[in-house]
């Protein structure tokens, strides 16, 4: 396992991209709308294998929009890359971990599934299997 990316919720993706470019010389490798997650997202490679993902809600009722309302901009989740996401989900479920996704779904990073923060001391964890 390794950290794949750290996702940061932002209210304006274009402004955030400008900031990361100006401050850290980081430019997006990919910018896409992910309809299933109701976000527009940009992946910023850091050169060390771990990436920064900036996520802007596309729907005022989405989870990311609610996050921004409650907490403001900031770290939304940490994504961990796994080899077999289905196996990891079964293992976590057998340990009594509360899962948001019992089955993987397609996301910007590949096959993804989220672990509920109630089971991880308040941190939203995303499992990622590259495809």
pLDDT, one tens digit per residue, over 66-77 is 999 999 999 999
**Residue 107 in tokens:** 């996301």
Mean per-residue pLDDT over the chain, rounded: 96
* Alpha carbons within 13 A on the beta-carbon side of 124: 17
d(CA 68, CA 11): 7
pLDDT value at 1 more than 90? no
- The CA-atom distances, in angstroms, between 2 and each of 22, 34, 68, 78, 80 are 28, 23, 27, 11, 6
> Please, are residues 40 and 53 in contact by the beta-carbon 8 Å criterion?
no
Q: What is the pLDDT of residue 105?
A: 94
What is the β-pairing status of strands 110-115 and 125-129? antiparallel
35: exposed, middle or buried (C-beta count within 10 Å: 0-12, 13-18, 19+)?
A: exposed
> Is the pTM of the predicted complex or chain greater than 0.85?
yes
pLDDT of residue 45: 95
Q: Within the chain, how many helices (H) and strands (E) appear? A: 3, 8
Domain ranges of the chain: 2-129
- For residue 112 the two structure tokens come to 């993804």
Considering only CA atoms, which of 114, 94, 96 is closest in space to residue 104? Answer: 114
User: Was domain 2-129 assigned CATH 1.20.1260.10?
Assistant: no
Asked whether residue 91 carries a pLDDT value surpassing 90, the answer given is yes
């Amino acid at each position: 396992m390794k950290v794949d990316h750290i996702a940061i919720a932002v209210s304006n993706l274009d402004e955030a991209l400008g900031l990361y470019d100006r401050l850290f010389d980081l430019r997006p490798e990919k910018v896409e709308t992910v309809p299933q997650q109701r976000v527009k997202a940009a992946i910023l490679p850091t050169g060390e294998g771990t990436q920064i993902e900036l996520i802007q809600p596309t729907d005022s009722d989405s989870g990311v929009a609610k996050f921004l309302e409650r907490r403001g901009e900031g770290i939304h989740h940490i994504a961990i890359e796994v080899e077999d996401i289905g196996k990891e989900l079964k293992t976590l479920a057998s340990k009594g971990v509360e899962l948001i996704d019992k089955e993987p779904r397609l996301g910007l990073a590949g096959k993804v599934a989220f672990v509920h923060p109630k089971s991880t001391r308040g941190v939203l964890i995303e499992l990622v299997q590259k495809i």
